[in-house]
A and B are shown apart, each in its own frame.
Chain A
Amino acid sequence: MILPRWAERFWPVVPIIGALLFIIALLFLFGADPLESLNIMFLKPFENQAKMLSVMAFWVPLTLCALGLLVTFTGGLWNIGVEGQMILGSLGASWIALTVDAPAFVLIFLEIIVAMLAGALWGALTGFLKTHGKVHEIFGGLALNNLASMLSLYLIAGPWQPPEGGSFRGTPPFQEAALLPRFAESRFSPISFVLTILAIGLVFFALNNSFWGLKLKALGKNARSAFLLGVSSERETIYAMMFCGALAGLGGAVRVLSWFDSLRQNISGGIGYLAILVVMLAAYRLLLVPFISFFFSLVLNGSLTLQLKTQLHSSLGGILTGVMVLFILLFGEASKLGFRKEVEKDE
């Protein structure tokens, strides 16, 4: 089958429309008004400053994780462990917030540094398991995610429980000085936004303008040739994991210091896993990541609003983003589906 040129140009929209149709069908199935529901999810948040700030507050850690993942994906690594690296970041920041007494700016500086170190440590552990124990990073990462989550539950129920007794829900709220300054009573902290923009620049530099980025690309494209050319795959693997872990750890710090005001159960909220989808939907391109990440934040927050208004399960947002990534993977390239390009005629 031959596809006309105009159709080929617009092909990338097809999977997206397909995903929307899928969602509309689901909404019909459950007796909801599709247009009204989509309106609540996509457009309504733009009319409301509080909603927008909430979207941006969600965007920060999601983007930080996605940025880190760009680095590990470039090195050919499937860093599912990003979720646990984020949790460790939350734990690091909480530890400082609960135990250190200092002026706000010292405290926040310390929290961020310790969070990044903790995330990097967890990343290094996955890398080390891969390079020295031959444990595939998907399984090493997964085990470490679970261990990180157990560790946080233990801390909440044990050493860090509120004085009135463990509720198992979270630690007591942190001292005011330990929290990131937040914008207009929202969960959004401008400092974390600035740090995210800096991180975008850092990752851009690391991947495009540094020798390390070049080595990582070589490693990701063909590990064996890279090794023969003198790239130490073990060292670069661990460094890449640490880099990602540090950014995810920063994301985790933002979760406890501005999204919440304490360490809670399920602190990561699955953001690490979502970030993997963000990077895939962005086709591993850095400049698309912030926008795709914004889209995810919008849809996921929108589906929570939708649940409040219509009782529809809030997993709808996750379904929309998941189906979109799936359809793009499956139907993203017309040529692979058996369509041929229109042959260009010589003049």
Chain B
Amino acid sequence: MNDLYIVSFFASAILNSSPLIIAVCGETLTERAGVVNLSLDGSMLMAAMSGFIVAYEMDNIWLGFFAGAAVGAFFALIIAFGSIRLKQSQFAIGFVLTLLGADLSAFLGQNHTRLPGPSVAHLSIPYLADLPILGPLFFDQNIIVYFSFVLVAVTWWWLNRTQPGLHLRSVGERPEAAFARGVKVNLVRYLYSIVGGALVGLAGASYSLGIKIGWSDNHILGLGWIALAIVIFGGWSPVRGAFGAILFGVTKGLATYLQGTFPGVSIQALNSLPWILMIMVLILVSGDFTERLIAYMPQSVQDPLRRQLRLAPPLALGATLDEE
């Protein structure tokens, strides 16, 4: 691998993981408000399908993105309504929607498979794209990549530096206390379910309009589940989530590269890599293992390390609040 190859390798890893970053930001917002949208795999498929068909029929990719976002928001709304208003299990509704999204997208998209369609144009940012290394990595991409990075920054800022963000976190951590202070807990949850769902929908449409262009049965099956896992191993932080998504993209790319270079290595072993990595990271961030490891460290770094590594979910995640 020469230097040029390494740069283009990472540039394509970043491009391929950008929709995942968008989905991870959306789901992080939803989960930080205390709602789990388990339907990601199904809603992203639905959004990818509707995004492509709308863009194809209207010959306008922006309408496609809009359609994807609307579908994602609608799926999220079903989950929010079912859990907040009807007190049903979020997991149950989310899981049904996951399977339903796969089947429904296959059926509704059956006349639009394998068609050449519109796609997002490449967009170099003048001057910045000419920077060595950083240029090709971050500024010689398409709008999806730029949007995903801006989104990470905005999500972080919104969560940690604004008052609505404070309300959002309070609703996910201590809904009773937030309610007592006058925050409309369920309204906030509806809102961030819908916003998060819309972002997940954008992510789905980003695949069919910019990364894996077009539509076919089960076009992006499995990626929604990966996004859900990345939210966890990003510790419900958009910044760490983005790193997780890129790490996944890099592993995936590495698998393809190694397969080309060492044909003896089995492709299945390489494709298993992200999943094995996922389990190991999940054990690392949620098991007792980390705590034991930290105990060996010098006293002075223990607390900062713990703060960095102990990634607890929002306390009220998945729990509903009766406002009456």
Q: Which residues of A contact B (CB under 8 A)?
A: 26, 30, 78, 80, 129, 132-136, 138-140, 142-143, 146-147, 150-151, 153-154, 157-158, 273-274, 276-277, 280, 312-313, 315-316, 318-319, 322-323, 325-326, 329-330, 333, 336-337
Say whether, besides A158-B266, A322-B96, A322-B99, A329 and B275 are in contact (CB < 8 Å): no
The distance in angstroms between the C-alpha atoms of A135 and B288, with both chains bound, is 11
B100 touches A (CB below 8 Å):
yes
A139, B229: Cβ atoms closer than 8 Å: yes
B86 touches A (CB below 8 Å):
yes
Q: Which residues of A lie under 8 Å from residue B81 when comparing CB positions?
A: 330
| A-contacting residues, B143-182, CB 8 Å | none
B88 touches A (CB below 8 Å):
yes
| A-contacting residues, B6-44, CB 8 Å | 38
B287 touches A (CB below 8 Å):
yes
The distance in angstroms between the C-alpha atoms of A250 and B271, with both chains bound, is 27
Total CB contacts across the A-B interface at under 8 A? 119
The distance in angstroms between the C-alpha atoms of A333 and B275, with both chains bound, is 39
Tell me, rounded to whole Å, the shortest Cβ–Cβ distance linking B160 to chain A: 25
Say whether, besides A316-B107, A322-B100, A329-B82, A143 and B268 are in contact (CB < 8 Å): no
B266, A135: Cβ atoms closer than 8 Å: no
Q: Which residues of B contact A (CB under 8 A)?
A: 38, 78, 81-82, 85-89, 91-93, 95-97, 99-100, 102-104, 106-107, 110, 222, 225, 228-229, 232, 266, 268-269, 271-272, 275-276, 278-279, 282-283, 286-289
Tell me, rounded to whole Å, the shortest Cβ–Cβ distance linking A218 to chain B: 19
The distance in angstroms between the C-alpha atoms of A134 and B313, with both chains bound, is 12
Say whether, besides A146-B272, A150-B268, A154-B268, A129 and B279 are in contact (CB < 8 Å): yes
Q: Which residues of A lie under 8 Å from residue B269 when comparing CB positions?
A: 150, 154
Given A26-B107, A135-B286, 17 extra CB contacts under 8 A: A30-B107, A134-B283, A139-B229, A140-B282, A142-B225, A143-B278, A146-B272, A150-B269, A150-B275, A154-B268, A157-B266, A315-B104, A316-B107, A318-B100, A323-B100, A329-B89, A329-B93
Q: Which residues of B lie under 8 Å from residue A143 when comparing CB positions?
A: 229, 275-276, 278-279
B106, A313: Cβ atoms closer than 8 Å: yes
The distance in angstroms between the C-alpha atoms of A158 and B86, with both chains bound, is 50
**Residue with the highest number of chain A CB atoms closer than 10 Å, among B78, B107, B232, B286:** B107
Find the A residue at minimum CB distance from B111.
Answer: A30
B96, A326: Cβ atoms closer than 8 Å: yes
B96, A313: Cβ atoms closer than 8 Å: no
Find the B residue at minimum CB distance from A316.
Answer: B107
Say whether, besides A146-B222, A146-B272, A319 and B279 are in contact (CB < 8 Å): no
From A134, A138, A139, B278 is in contact (CB under 8 Å) with A139
B99, A273: Cβ atoms closer than 8 Å: yes
Tell me, rounded to whole Å, the shortest Cβ–Cβ distance linking B221 to chain A: 11
From A274, A323, A326, A336, B87 is in contact (CB under 8 Å) with A336
Q: Which residues of B lie under 8 Å from residue A80 when comparing CB positions?
A: 95
A139, B96: Cβ atoms closer than 8 Å: no
Find the B residue at minimum CB distance from A307.
Answer: B110
Find the B residue at minimum CB distance from A325.
Answer: B96
Q: Which residues of A lie under 8 Å from residue B286 when comparing CB positions?
A: 133-135
The distance in angstroms between the C-alpha atoms of A340 and B314, with both chains bound, is 35
Say whether, besides A315-B106, A315-B107, A319-B107, A326 and B287 are in contact (CB < 8 Å): no
Closest 9 CB pairs of A and B: A322-B100, A318-B103, A154-B268, A315-B103, A133-B283, A134-B286, A315-B106, A150-B268, A313-B110
B86, A147: Cβ atoms closer than 8 Å: no
The distance in angstroms between the C-alpha atoms of A129 and B278, with both chains bound, is 12
Q: Which residues of B lie under 8 Å from residue A30 when comparing CB positions?
A: 107, 110
**Residue with the highest number of chain B CB atoms closer than 10 Å, among A26, A78, A315, A337:** A315
Q: Which residues of A lie under 8 Å from residue B38 when comparing CB positions?
A: 138
Tell me, rounded to whole Å, the shortest Cβ–Cβ distance linking B210 to chain A: 25
Find the A residue at minimum CB distance from B106.
Answer: A315
The distance in angstroms between the C-alpha atoms of A13 and B298, with both chains bound, is 65
B78, A330: Cβ atoms closer than 8 Å: yes
Find the B residue at minimum CB distance from A80.
Answer: B95
Find the B residue at minimum CB distance from A135.
Answer: B282
Tell me, rounded to whole Å, the shortest Cβ–Cβ distance linking A321 to chain B: 9
Q: Which residues of B lie under 8 Å from residue A277 when comparing CB positions?
A: 96, 99
17 A-B Cβ contacts within 8 A? A78-B91, A132-B287, A133-B289, A143-B229, A147-B275, A150-B269, A150-B275, A151-B268, A153-B268, A157-B266, A273-B99, A280-B92, A313-B107, A322-B103, A326-B97, A329-B92, A333-B86
The distance in angstroms between the C-alpha atoms of A133 and B99, with both chains bound, is 28
The distance in angstroms between the C-alpha atoms of A158 and B265, with both chains bound, is 11
Q: Which residues of A lie under 8 Å from residue B104 when comparing CB positions?
A: 315, 319, 322
Tell me, rounded to whole Å, the shortest Cβ–Cβ distance linking B217 to chain A: 8
Q: Which residues of B lie under 8 Å from residue A273 when comparing CB positions?
A: 99
Find the B residue at minimum CB distance from A327.
Answer: B96
Tell me, rounded to whole Å, the shortest Cβ–Cβ distance linking B48 to chain A: 15
Tell me, rounded to whole Å, the shortest Cβ–Cβ distance linking B263 to chain A: 13
Tell me, rounded to whole Å, the shortest Cβ–Cβ distance linking B291 to chain A: 11
Q: Which residues of A lie under 8 Å from residue B278 when comparing CB positions?
A: 139, 143
Find the A residue at minimum CB distance from B95.
Answer: A276
Q: Which residues of B lie under 8 Å from residue A319 when comparing CB positions?
A: 100, 103-104, 107
The distance in angstroms between the C-alpha atoms of A291 and B64, with both chains bound, is 42
Find the A residue at minimum CB distance from B279.
Answer: A143
